[in-house]
Amino acid sequence: MISIKGLDKWYNSLHVLRDINLQVDEGEVVVLIGASGSGKSTLLRCLNRLERADRGEIHILGREINQTDKDLDQLRQQVGMVFQHFHLFPHMTVIENVIEAPIHVKKMNRRAAERLATELLQKVGLADKMHSYPHSLSGGQKQRVAIARALAMQPRVMLFDEPTSALDPELVGEVLSVMKELAQDGMTMVVVTHEMGFAREVADKVVYMDEGRIIEQGTPEQIFGAPQEERTQRFVSQIY
């Protein structure tokens, strides 16, 4: 589904991604972990071309996306993203938020978009909030709307950048459980998170990054139970 080869990126003189090589298979959940500033968000943003890497290749669904500026709209339809801060449209109701892109970007007819949105809002447990405005929702509810909104484009891959980091602790679980269900449904996901319980339970692969490099990748058992690299050992022991 995703194949990253020899990816390097600089912000001016700051070398933020260093020779990144990573494979994500269809239906896999890959969790990126690492200290703040290690390049996790930048890597994620390269996958839907919010950023462009200076060197290397990214193939998504067989198409090279880093070396070309063609078909970026199509790419962003295939690769959904959920951010730490939900970025909902404040002047639109929940269902209006969800149908906006399907209607205006995908040219879906309104009735079909509403049917899909209703289904997705049921899935994330917010059918009863369809006609509410974002300001009346809790952070966890807002993030579940953001997930439904991303899913409404019927993406093949979902990217999550610290989706629970802005939430009060008691609201984290409801968002993680929606993500877990999505994983069980077979969605291909790349998730940046500090929720190690989620990583352990849901990830097929855990990738540890430091200073722009992938230091180690493996199953949760390998990375949390028997890390090979000293830096991984240190990071893992700090977070438990």
Question: Which residue type is seen at 144?
Answer: R
x/- contact string, 27-66, with ligand ADP (CB under 6 A)?
-------x-xxxxxxx------------------------
155 binds, among Mg ion, ligand ADP, none (CB under 5 to 8 A by kind): none
Residue 142 is inside which H or E element, if any? helix 139-151
- Which residue lies nearer to ligand ADP by CB, 98 or 159? 159
Number of residues interacting with ligand ADP: please give it, by CB under 6 A: 11
The vertex-207 CA angle with 64 and 52, nearest 5°, equals: 35
213: β partners: 210
The string of DSSP codes covering 4-64 is EEEEEEEETTEEEEEEEEEEE-TT-EEEEE--TTSSHHHHHHHHTTSS--SEEEEEETTEE
Q: Over the range 142-157, which residues count as b (16 or more CB within 10 Å of their CB) and which as e? A: bbbbbbbbbbbbebbb
- Which residue lies nearer to Mg ion by CB, 34 or 102? 34
Residue entry with tokens 């509410």: 132
Quote the least distance from Cβ 192 to Mg ion, whole Å. 6
Quote the least distance from Cβ 41 to Mg ion, whole Å. 3
- Which residue lies nearer to ligand ADP by CB, 40 or 129? 40
Quote the least distance from Cβ 17 to ligand ADP, whole Å. 8
x/- contact string, 28-47, with Mg ion (CB under 5 A)?
-------------x------
Number of residues interacting with Mg ion: please give it, by CB under 5 A: 1
x/- contact string, 7-26, with ligand ADP (CB under 6 A)?
----x--x-x----------
**CB-side exposure of 220: number of CA atoms within 13 Å?**
14
DSSP state of 223: I
Task: Give the interface with ligand ADP as residue ranges (CB under 6 A).
Answer: 11, 14, 16, 34, 36-42
Task: Give the interface with Mg ion as residue ranges (CB under 5 A).
Answer: 41
